[in-house]
Amino acid sequence: MIIIRQIDEMRRAVRREKGQGRTVGLVPTMGYLHEGHLSLVRLARREADVAVVSLFVNPIQFGPKEDLKSYPRDFERDAARLRIEQVDYLFAPADKEMYPGEHRTFVEVRGLQDRLCGRTRPGHFQGVCTVVMKLFQAIEPDCAVFGRKDAQQALILQRMVADLNIPVRMIVAPIIREPDGLAMSSRNTYLDPAERKAALVLSRSLAEARAAVDAGNRDAAEIVAAMRAAIESEPLARVDYIEAVDPADLAPVAELREGTIVALAVFIGRTRLIDNMLI
């Protein structure tokens, strides 16, 4: 695996690969890799000849009171895991390489960025879209793989690619869970043992919602209310939002249909976790 820190060098390497007829798949990450990330890497390797993983903790997608400073980092461990997965290139730029001076250009996907997580994380999706756009410019991948756990992120980025005619095929991969159901996330490492146990309330409430849907209930308000009651019965949990939304505009729906996303964000202690299911 070749580690590259400069945009120019990354672009040259990809152009060399493409010049030899190889396709390039990108997995953008912020590091502290877990099985969920590695499942994206495996998918990228299946979908393209050359796998590039980017590792960059993007400062502009964190709010002023969020966890940028404490975000978990372990470059050597991440690189070792990616070597085992036979990744071809690890692009790990420094902050100064990505944002050398005052940055004045941002990418927004209006409307979609203000819903769900966007309500409590203003500016977050603008930061995500801007950095992904910059990564696409630096790497020029044929395809890029994102996880469905960040369902809103995936939808917003798909919309950005469509609206701006970006020639990248977007692939959205399924959520990978711990054996007990907790969706994998780098932020799970913040949880102490009691919080780790309490965090199961997210996947449990989704499983109960899934059972209700399978039993024929399509009433979004009823399903969301039952999920809220389940989560509020857990003393360490505080609901940020629970919503059933239309994937086209992320607007709340009254009735669950195929394609509806039931998404939630919940604070477990001070850690904010997200999860979702696709009907």
Q: Residue 47 is encoded by which pair of tokens?
A: 């979908």
Amino acid at 5: R
Q: CB of 44: closest distance to ligand PAF in angstroms? A: 13
The residues carrying an active-site annotation are 37
Nearer to ligand PAF, 21 or 64 (CB): 64
Amino acid at 247: P
Nearer to ligand PAF, 25 or 28 (CB): 28
Nearer to ligand PAF, 156 or 231 (CB): 156
# chain residues binding ligand PAF, by CB under 6 A: 10
- Residues between 119 and 178 that touch ligand PAF (CB under 6 A): 128, 131-132, 150, 153
State which H helix or E strand residue 19 sits in: helix 7-19
β strands within 63-142, DSSP E: 89-91
Task: Give the other-Cβ count within 10 Å of 68's Cβ.
Answer: 14
Indicate the angle between helix axes 220-232 and 200-214, nearest 10 degrees: 150
Rounded (10°) CA dihedral 32, 34, 157, 256:
-140
Q: CB of 21: closest distance to ligand PAF in angstroms? A: 28
Distance CA 51, CA 116 (A): 32
Amino acid at 209: A
Q: CB of 188: closest distance to ligand PAF in angstroms? A: 14
Nearer to ligand PAF, 58 or 126 (CB): 58
Q: CB of 59: closest distance to ligand PAF in angstroms? A: 10
- Is residue 155 within 8 A of residue 247, CB to CB? The reply is yes
- Residues between 22 and 81 that touch ligand PAF (CB under 6 A): 28-30, 58, 61
Nearer to ligand PAF, 131 or 224 (CB): 131
Alpha helices in the chain (DSSP H): 7-19, 35-47, 75-84, 95-98, 117-120, 124-139, 151-163, 193-198, 200-214, 220-232
Q: CB of 131: closest distance to ligand PAF in angstroms? A: 5
Binding site for ligand PAF (CB under 6 A): 28-30, 58, 61, 128, 131-132, 150, 153
